Amino acid sequence: MSFQEYLKYLTRLFVDYVETPKSQRRQNKSPRESWSARWFGAIPMSIKLLRRK
């Protein structure tokens, strides 16, 4: 892929992003995991579940 093709691709993505309404962009976002699950996986979740018992 040449630099010009890559630049066209990025420009197309940017224009699509700008043209979509803000409300629709917010609907497409999925909720993020907690930071502990993102960084360490399922181990913190299992420890948290054991503490609650």
Reading the block at residue 30, the tokens are: 């999925």
Q: What is the reported pLDDT for 21?
A: 86
Task: Report if pTM > 0.75.
Answer: no
Residues 6+ apart with CB under 8 A from 32: 38
- Give residue-wise pLDDT tens across range 5-53: 999 999 999 999 889 888 877 776 777 777 777 778 788 778 888 888 7
Q: What is the reported pLDDT for 6?
A: 95
3-state secondary structure of 20: coil
